[in-house]
Structure 1
Amino acid sequence: MQTLLHKAQTRGSANHGWLQANHTFSFASYRDPSRMHFGVLRVLNDDLIAGGGGFGTHPHDNMEIITIPLKGALAHKDSMGNASVIHAGDVQVMSAGTGVYHSEFNHYPDKECNLLQIWLFPNQRNVAPRYQQISFGEKLLHNQLNQILSPSEKDEGVWIYQNAYFHLGKFNVGTNFSYTLKDPANNGLYAFLIEGQMQVKAQDQTLDLHKRDGAGFWETTQTPLEFKALADSHILLMEVPMAL
């Protein structure tokens, strides 16, 4: 089994006044050749947007873009004709495909919005752009993993053009759980601790994660990864193909 650990304080950062951004992987002016991607996981941005601030209309193509608000709400408009508000508890995906333009602004003029924006390389290029948004809210069960994304529109959560699976979970201190990769021959797991403190056991290795730390695991065979919440915790698990 291979592992890596990205401590929160080692992320790239940028302060634009209206935007405070933290980049787990190289993005915009932050570039680290050793942190370009984890398999098909290309971008993991932790953005804090001031009231009224946002990203004006800009293009994307051939990328799966997932937005997960953690606090507040985001107003979205795009060239496909979608106009919506994405709240904490929602998950949004855009398959940019042949090309799409969109804008994202804090929905509130006087409240901060904190969100995760995640980009994955797709397994199909030049598809027709598509948009999907699901509200989980109170449907997310406590002290267990909840699937929020998969490769199939018949499965739980949003779906994308990639053999990826995302799970969210909030766990009380002392809770244990495990995760076994759905496709261990091809996929790896990137764990991002949103809040709290967790210990992860991967075969003969033990990693301690604190708020906003990330850890990657691959070449796992069928061995489950064992997690223990050392404090009340909120975690995002992203299973993704390792080959581009």
Structure 2
Amino acid sequence: MLAVRKSEARGTANYGWLKSYHSFSFANYYDPNFMGFRSLRVVNEDTVAGGTGFGTHPHREMEIISYVLEGVLEHEDSTGGRSRIRAGEVQRMTAGRGIAHSEFNGSQQHPVRLLQIWILPNQRGLPPSYEQKTYSEADKRGRWCLVASLDGRERSLTVHQDVLLYATILSPGETLTYALSPQRYAWLQVVRGDIEVNGTILSGGDAVSVEKTEALDVSALSEAEVLLFDLA
């Protein structure tokens, strides 16, 4: 069974320096029907103007993944961590028992665009930490590239939850199949382009939740980038 979440139905926020689309309830956007899906709590598509960003703010008890699509995101946190996350790079931050961090656009002129993903951890009180890795276009082209997992296998980021996060980039006419194990669920997020999933047409920003389904056949109708969450 597939349930579509259309891009235009998402919550929105526009602060001038930040334009954001919320797949699930977040900040001032609240929809009791979209409070998350399984352990997936937040999928925000953020565009941050040049020379601006999020000042220092706290987080607790959350796995936060930053998937940068365009530009450069600068990160600093209370553990002393500092990094620059470029397009094609992905960062996992475990907020655990408490962390404060800031995120700024690394350019004064050009926007940075990213997906910020929050996943509920499988235990509380974890020590704060972060991890960052690069997944090139070649890594994702025409295959399911494992970006995050519970055990960090296949060079993926380690998240403290039973979730598998895959990314793929497909050329027009290309098809990938994903077999979903029994008692597992999926959330598929279209980053860009147009695809067909089990007969359903989706475009950039659209998503679909999946349950009681054995396999997903994902066909690209144009150049497309897709994230797939395999969830307990």
Task: Give the drift of 1:155.
Answer: 3.7
* 2: CA distance, partners of 1:136 / 1:231: 21
**Does structure 1 conserve the Cα–Cα contact (< 8 Å) formed by 2:140 and 2:167?**
no
What letter is aligned with 2:149? S
| Counterpart in the other structure of 2:226 | 235
| Counterpart in the other structure of 1:200 | 197
Listed as ranges, the matches of 1:51-200 within 5 Å are: 51-181=50-180, 183-185=181-183, 187-200=184-197
* 1: CA distance, partners of 2:134 / 2:173: 28
Task: Give the drift of 1:219.
Answer: 2.4
Given the two structures, how large is their TM-score scaled by the length of structure 1? Answer: 0.92
Given the two structures, how large is their TM-score scaled by the length of structure 2? Answer: 0.97
Q: Deviations over 1:40-86 (max 9, x none)?
A: 11000000000011101011111000000000010000011100100
Question: Identity of aligned pairs, percent?
Answer: 38
**Does structure 2 conserve the Cα–Cα contact (< 8 Å) formed by 1:4 and 1:217?**
yes
Task: Give the drift of 1:139.
Answer: 4.8
**Does structure 1 conserve the Cα–Cα contact (< 8 Å) formed by 2:60 and 2:97?**
yes
Task: Give the CA RMSD over aligned residues.
Answer: 1.1
What letter is aligned with 1:238? F
Q: Deviations over 1:137-196 (max 9, x none)?
A: 355241112111111134431011001111111111111110112x532x3111111111
Task: Give the drift of 1:240.
Answer: 1.8
What letter is aligned with 2:221? L
Matched, 1:211 2:211: no
> Moved runs in structure 1, 4+ residues, more than 2 A?
153-156
Gaps of 5+ in 1: none
| 3-state DSSP of counterpart to 1:149 | strand
What letter is aligned with 1:234? E
**Does structure 1 conserve the Cα–Cα contact (< 8 Å) formed by 2:76 and 2:102?**
yes
* 2: CA distance, partners of 1:30 / 1:59: 20
Change (3 A) 1:81 1:184: farther
| Aligned residue pairs, count | 232
Task: Give the drift of 1:34.
Answer: 0.5
| 3-state DSSP of counterpart to 2:155 | coil
Q: Deviations over 1:6-33 (max 9, x none)?
A: 1110010010010000001000000011
